[in-house]
Structure 1
Amino acid sequence: MEQIINLDGLYSNLKKLIEDKSDINNIIVTLEKIHLEIIKRDLLGEKSQEHEKDHDIEIISKIGFYLLSVFLYLKPQSEDFNSYGMSVAGFCFELLSKSAIIDTEGQWEYNLFSSVCYSLSENQANAIVLAKQGFLKLNKHKDTDFIYLLFLKFLSREYKYILKYQIPKSSLSSKPIIDVLISFSRFMISGGNAEIILTNFSNLKHQLYNNNSQYFFTFALIYKVALEMRRCSIRNILQSEPELEPYLKVVTQVDTKNVYELWASQIFLMQVENQERSFLSNNTKNDISIISMPTSAGKTMISELAIFKSLIRDY
């Protein structure tokens, strides 16, 4: 899994995926059909030719790795590709992580890749679930590489776990990786200078590349996710609202179920083009507001933030 597969021939078939959102939707529909077939086989015990199963897995894997490789190395400028392309890749790897015909000892890697892709497509909820599942799978194996366990904990947003982690004496060579993960985790919990931490993150990525480290590819993915985590960090987005620090401390440090990132729907409500319409604006015309969003889109936190700031302002 640490090597990118040969991508010859894939670009011509999937080139429009980058340019036309409808093509992505068509591929999602196809993948969903394949997913249903896999579930049907597994649940009903239906038999099919092994080469048919292998073909499905090969196609799904190629699409996922193609999209992930384009994102990492070709750096597409299209925001649609970054969002929809990574969403498709995340779905591909999620299917692979659940396929009964893949060796259980290798499924955790697909969980990791799926979590990365969902994180890069602003789907933190799915990213966390897939990472937690991957951790449970990997943790069952003997002689597990603890670095990958930490990567999965990082993707699970379990920053407190990382801060408490004790480095095995036999693995001091991995200390730079752990130190960077700890520093970033501390930022997500307590705030601080994210730019310095991300610079160290980037420098270590280059060192791993130059040293031909086995961790380079996965660490490069984790670095991409860290950039997205920082962008969506509740502390980063609300850094211009120092009066909200008591509330931020509760949700990031005190609560048992901590909140470290804001979802796209929440960010939109606080960063609308007309700041006077923002739910955190000091404009008293916003005293009466209606939030209409789907279930689990983040209405409660937005309301709590607005109430907290209103109480401080009136006090």
Structure 2
Amino acid sequence: MDDGARVIEAAGARRRYGGGFEAVRGVSFSVARGELFALLGTNGAGKTSILELLEGLARPSAGTIRVLGRDPYAERASVRPRIGVMLQEGGFPVDLTVDETARMWAGCVTGARPRQESLDLVGLGHRSGVRVRQLSGGERRRLDLALALLGRPQVLFLDEPTTGLDPQGRHDTWELVRALRAEGTTVLLTTHYLEEAEALADQLAILHQGRIVALGTPAEVTGARPARIAFGLPPGWHPGDLPPFPELGVLRHELREGRVVLHTDRLQHTLTALLRWAEQREVPLDRLDARTASLEEAFLAIAGQDTHAGQTGEGIAA
């Protein structure tokens, strides 16, 4: 990626608070024009601290931050009109209507798009006369997004944009973000939902204790983890009856709720050998499931947590 394509850059960025606590410890990454970059992390990993540096709300203790080629803190007056920011909580006056809130916000934005257009983009056009206090939590998140889009931003910061939305609202927001990215908007996203990051991100970073511990495309990050093959054996058959695990390329195995789970970094080889063995011995493999590692597994491995049965991956990347 050439320098002209780098819209967001962090190089060795650090952020210390009073008392010497260092929330961000030498973070480096860059985001190209039109890319969506997802920032994930455990609680207290430093995501909010990095966002505040990128948004120009704080100066790094060390290292450099650049947005659109400029220092967002020292040159805030030139950077702020070109970015949109959606915070976790907007904090808007609850007695104003949706339209009045948008009108107030538009007065602070240079070259604002029509209020109704921005509200229509997020599906709130029909609620323009409703007071903010009467909006649901999901509708308030839509309003937060509508206001972030008023200035036609070149760079959009989205801090957990789909929290509180129902599945349809989340899907609609994904489609809107994809459309903005296709138009050339650069997006930096934090999210509770690993599925969201996997579906939307061109690149992602996983933060842990103030450092980036995984960086790349979703496929690159998940590709570093073993694939998994799960199946049930019929009565009378046991894992010890399978071919030797080294021959299968199995790194480790486990029994989970009566099913055999094989972990391998050679998925095609292992699956082919397993199916050949099952066919030769006429052994039906019940509910056979083979898949590469998920982003959830990569995240949990980094976080040092155990995957709980039935966990969907939602709500673990706060």
Instruction: Please report the TM-score for the alignment, with normalisation by the length of structure 2.
Output: 0.31
Instruction: Please report the TM-score for the alignment, with normalisation by the length of structure 1.
Output: 0.31
The structure in which a higher percent of residues are strand is 2
Structure with higher Rg: it is 2
